[in-house]
Amino acid sequence: MKYHFKIRKQGKWLWAECMESGGWVTQAENREALEKNMREVLNAVLDEYPDSNWIPPLPNPAIKGRNIVEVPVEPKIALATLVRLSRLRSKLTQKQAATMLGMKHVFQYQKLESGKTANPELGTLVKLKALYPEFSVDAAL
């Protein structure tokens, strides 16, 4: 899962804006620091969403151009984001999704959406695919 940032120079500063969001911005004095900041802002926004019903914009692979760079999302955050998006598209609550996946407690499901389950078991991924047919682990890469 890779988002696109447009890099601009202003005086001695470099700054970058996420093209998909139109609002996730960061800056730094050099390219190395800017690249680190872009990864940090991207992961922070996706990991610390305001509530479980917020739908972030998805990456747009068609975005190309001068001074555009792809910034990868940390895999566990990408997976959590995709699980949450699949649930919201299915119009399910976290409790309903947990029940449909055979989980005894809703907090088990909430761990999937929070990124706290960095390595879900294969059986869990198979159940997610059955519950959300459009779900793809490949999209998290």
Residues 6 and 68: beta-carbon distance below 8 Å: yes
**Domain definitions of the chain by residue range:** 2-72, 75-140
pLDDT at 54: 75
pLDDT at 138: 86
pLDDT at 118: 62
Residue 61, φ and ψ in degrees, nearest 5: -65, -10
Tokens for 81? 């984001």
Distance, in Å, from the CA atom of 114 to the CA atom of 134, rounded to the nearest integer, reads 20
Residues 92 and 124: beta-carbon distance below 8 Å: no
Residues 132 and 87: beta-carbon distance below 8 Å: yes
In 45-132 the beta strands, taken as DSSP E runs, fall at 68-72
CATH code given to domain 2-72: 3.30.160.250
The tens-digit pLDDT sequence of the chain (141 residues) is 999 999 999 999 999 999 998 788 999 999 999 999 999 999 988 887 656 677 788 899 999 999 999 999 999 889 988 999 999 999 999 999 999 999 999 998 988 888 776 678 899 899 999 999 998 888 887
Distance, in Å, from the CA atom of 22 to the CA atom of 98, rounded to the nearest integer, reads 33
75-140: CATH, from 3.40.50.9100, 3.40.50.300, 3.90.226.10, 1.10.260.40: 1.10.260.40
pTM: 0.83
